[in-house]
Amino acid sequence: MRIRRSLLFMPGDSRRKIEKGAAMQVDSIIMDLEDAIAYTQKQAARACVAQALQEVDFGQAEKLVRTNMIIPGWLYASDIADTVDAKPDGYVLPKIETAEQVQHVSELLALAEDRNGWERHSIALLAILETGKGILNAREIATADPRLQALIFGAEDLAGDIGAQRTAQGWEVFHARSHVVLVAKSYGLQAIDTVFVDLQAAEETLIAETQFAKQMGYTGKLAIHPKQVAPIQAVFTPTPEAIEAAQRLVAAHDAHQASGAGVFEYEGRMVDMPMIRAALTVLAQARACGLL
């Protein structure tokens, strides 16, 4: 599974902004066909996204498309039909509430993969949980389909759905935020944190919120402006000091295991398997970032 430290939204009807995002060192670009696009511009945006997928050099960035809501008779079917043959790397599905919604989209993608001679499940799915029902059904959604790779927490829409008032501290959505990361990690999925909407806030505020998300277990965060990408990716990238410390700890553990010792003392602390697993996670992140 590819690394997704920051996922940058770009409006699907702006070739200029898509190209700007593609030129950045960002893990994933989400070309948006939902909230960023007026109803009258949906068709033009689909054409713009399809053309960009075929013509723009995205470098190492993942090419994602956010559809409209997955509800019968709505716009998502055209979103997929008009862009899938240009082969995005995946689709981001908003306001997912049931496993059946994920499975339905997966079936549509399987038809496209077969039609184009592509490997099955070569197109990924990422589901945004941003309604009360979506949060409550997180476990069923997480296990819905093998092409699902990540759960994304959407605080802003969730607050609107349940009538909560958003605050800087975020306690009104903390339970849901915790639930999403817990379910995602329990079923081997990536957990992507919600957007940071205050574009006037100091960068230190964004960094602090991103660090808190990382401490909760999130593996990445949505970005809504290019200036957010570097701070977010920096938080989710292991530092050289952290990598070196993890390597030393794992080496010490291996040496003690070879001598028949289990729990051991290291640099003034007792070390057991949870600490080793944490160190191995750091090293896995470093490898995914190309640092090892």
Residue 1 lies in a domain: no
**Residues 275 and 146 placed together within one structural domain of the fold:** no
Question: Please, are residues 77 and 42 in contact by the beta-carbon 8 Å criterion?
Answer: no
**Residues 227 and 252 placed together within one structural domain of the fold:** no
What's the number of domains the chain is made of?
2
Q: Where are the beta strands (DSSP E) in the chain?
A: 6-11, 28-32, 62-66, 90-93, 124-129, 148-153, 190-193, 220-223, 264-266, 269-271
- The question of whether 272 is a catalytic residue gets the answer yes
Question: Please, are residues 181 and 136 in contact by the beta-carbon 8 Å criterion?
Answer: no
Residue 279: domain span? 240-288
**Residues 187 and 140 placed together within one structural domain of the fold:** yes
pLDDT band at 261 (very low <50, low <70, confident <90, very high): low
Residue 41 lies in a domain: yes
pLDDT band at 142 (very low <50, low <70, confident <90, very high): very high
**Residues 212 and 260 placed together within one structural domain of the fold:** no
Is pLDDT larger for residue 258 or for residue 170? 170
Sequence letter at residue 184? A
pLDDT above 90 for 259: no
pLDDT above 80 for 143: yes
The token duo for 270 is 């007792």
3-class SS shares of the chain: helix, strand, coil, % to 5:
50, 15, 35
Mean pLDDT, the chain, rounded, equals 95
Helix (H, G, I), strand (E, B) or coil at 40: helix
Question: Please, are residues 170 and 177 in contact by the beta-carbon 8 Å criterion?
Answer: yes
Residues, the chain? 292
Residue 119: in which H helix or E strand, if any? none
pLDDT above 80 for 263: no
Domain boundary among 218, 235, 252: 235
Which of these is catalytic: 85, 198, 254, 272?
A: 272
Domain boundary among 203, 220, 235: 235
Residue 180: partners with Cβ closer than 8 Å, 6 or more residues away: 129, 135, 138, 151, 152, 153, 191
Give the residue among 206, 212, 71, 215 at the shortest CA–CA distance from 131: 71
**Residues 257 and 208 placed together within one structural domain of the fold:** no
Sequence letter at residue 189? L
